[in-house]
Amino acid sequence: MNAREAILGKARRALADVPDVEPVLDVPVVRPTPARDRTHEQVVDLFDERVADYRAVVERATGAAAADAVAGALAGRTPIAGSGPLRILVPPGFPPELVPSGIEVVTDGPDITVSDLDRCDGVLSTAAVGIAETGTIILDHGPGQGRRAATLVPDLHVCVIRADQVVAGVPEAVAGLDPVRPHTWISGPSATSDIELDRVEGVHGPRTLHVVIVGPAG
């Protein structure tokens, strides 16, 4: 007997006490309905506050000011190369009007190797969803978000999210995701508490997460 048949057979025998009914009828699952009494504006405010709680940088910007906010996130950083402009990874589909001038743009794609990524000073991306209660940004790696490695290897991640993409809680976010796509949930910069539970930001992922929330709430 192969391992598959052996395991499934053993599991069936182990469950001899379970009546042969539909799982849904056998064990009903009642999900709580969260009481949500915040306006969308308050939801966005909460998102702002909770992202900042992870020691990420959060900024609000409307209209044209968004481009300045993105440029500001890059200002003052030293290129890995030591001199010259910053090398910034920009995924296809990222709004061109938000790409600052004076940087070297590296366009993300399958031909960009891991060591190419490692030579980038930062990455710009959009997001798919924001979760207010947990301060989480979810990337589904659609247009503007790059491949999964794009927002991982460079040391700075500047993420632009529209206020209308922010939802209150985890259930609303999960309900809107397409399971077939890969997802990356980001709650603050890379962090560890493994040494005496002292929180240290930045182990392997970006050490700095800079979030720009664009547009009026609501």
Partner 1 sequence: MSGTFLGTPAFPTAARTALGDSQLRRNLAHATGTIRTKRAGVVGEVDEWEQLRLAGAAIKERVLRHLPDYLEQLERSLTAAGATVHWARDAAEANAIVVGIAQRHGTDEVVKVKSMATQEIELNEALEAAGIHAWETDLAELIVQLGDDLPSHILVPAIHRNRAEIREIFLREMGRAGKAAPEDLTDEPKQLAAAARAHLREKFLRAKVAVSGANFAVAETGTLTVVESEGNGRMCLTLPEVLVSVVGIEKVLPTFEDLDVMLQLLPRSSTGERMNPYTSTWTGVTPGDGPQEVHVVLLDNGRTDVLADPTGRQALRCIRCSACLNVCPVYERTGGHAYGSVYPGPIGAILTPQLRGVGSDPQTDSLPYASSLCGACFEVCPVRIDIPEVLVHLRGEVVDAHKKASRLPSVQDVAMKAASWTLSSAARTERAARAAGFGGKLAARVARRDPGGRTVLGAVPGPAGAWSDSRDVPVPAEESFRSWWERTDGGRSRTSDSDSDGGRS
- The interface with partner 1 within residues 116-175 (CB under 8 A) comprises 118, 131, 133-136, 141, 147-149, 152, 169-171, 173-175
Strands 57-61 and 200-201, how do they pair? unpaired
Q: Does 210 bind partner 1 (CB under 8 A)?
A: no
Q: Pick from 43, 47, 50, 121: which binds partner 1 (CB under 8 A)?
A: 50
Give the range of 69-77, 85-93, 97-105, 202-210 binding partner 1 by CB under 8 A: 202-210
Between 47 and 212, name the residue whose CB sits nearer to partner 1. 47
Tokens 């794009």 correspond to: 150
Q: What b-and-e string marks burial along 49-76, b requiring 16 or more CB atoms within 10 Å of the CB?
A: ebbeebebebbbbeeeebbebbbbbbee
Pick the closer one to partner 1 by CB: 71 or 174. 174
Q: Are 94 and 124 in contact (CB under 8 A)?
A: yes
Is 86 exposed, middle or buried, given 0-12, 13-18 or 19+ CB atoms closer than 10 A? buried
The answer to whether residue 64 forms part of the interface with partner 1 (CB under 8 A) is no
78 lies in the binding site for partner 1 (CB under 8 A):
no
